Amino acid sequence: MLAQMGMTRRLQQLLPPTRAALWLPLDDSLISGPEAGLRHPNALLEQEIVDHLTGVLGFRGTFTACQKELRNTPIIMNLSASTVRNEHTHKVLVGTVVDAIRAGAQAIAYHINHSSPFEAAGLRELGRLAHEADDLGIPVVVIAYPRGRKADGTDENYLTIRENDQEAFTRLVRHCVRLAVDLGASAVKTIYTGSVESFETVLSAAMGVPVVIAGERLADVPEALAKAQAAIQAGAAGVAYGRQVFERDDPVAFVQKLRSVLDDEWTARARRQRSLHEATIDQTSVKVN
């Protein structure tokens, strides 16, 4: 009971019930290298950015270096790692749940690549971690992507299917999310499928577990904001935008715009839900009378 209470409280810090979550992933510094805004993360984490965040995702080294900047910000410690210069889809365990708790993390993260040759090992590790995290009362954020390996050894991100067959790509993402949920995810970070209607089916597959969308490749500002707005409209819990922030010349201005869009759409969604609820009550009342 106490472990469950602790898990709920930690998760609510990352995913507040009254506003959209805005996470800043910094783990790309290990995956792709400390480039762009990740060369000096302390400088990136200005107060004007941090004040708008509900979570930061990263590895222990970054959190140690940025203790001052993140002293009041919930953190998610990634326990899985790989780099783009080797077997990118082969995630290996690089820490423990206890490590994350000692670092003051509100959650751990583990990455699974659906259709990777290393998928089975990742699923086994995730199941074990989720069991351990449950016992210790810490949420598990599962990063779940459709990502395999082409014959030449490069990543298969299903870009052709994504562009030409939205339903086929959405099936892949739905499967990613259900994998994560069935193995004990407290929240899932995954890929936006391109439309409100398609992403609603992804959220349905999550069976009530909160889902946030990844930012992916750097897009122009209107496109990045529109994707965030559509995800919230569909019912997502928020966004996890990394490259959309740290690769920009003016990350502060972008984060401020993003937070405004998220807040406005969150309010609009709540208004629509209230209206629907009131309409349902009215219809029920008419039938009873």
SS3 97: helix
- SS3 state of residue 117: coil
| Catalytic choice (158, 189, 192, 241) | 189
Smallest CA-to-CA distance from 165 within 193, 145, 144 is with: 193
Task: Report d(CA 123, CA 138) in Å as an integer.
Answer: 19
User: Residue for token digits 């959405």?
Assistant: 170
Active-site residue flag, 257: no
Distance, CA of 174 to CA of 65 (rounded, Å): 36
- Is residue 189 annotated as part of the catalytic site, yes or no? yes
CA distances from 229 to 101, 195, 235, 236, 248 (A): 33, 11, 10, 10, 19
- How far, in Å, are 20, 186, 209, 215 from residue 198 at the CA level? 20, 22, 17, 17
Ranges assigned E (strand) in 94-243:
107-114, 140-146, 148-149, 155-156, 187-190, 211-214, 238-240
Choose, from 91, 110, 145, 227, the residue flagged as catalytic: 145
Rounded CA gap, 66 and 69, in Å? 5
Residues labelled catalytic: 145, 189
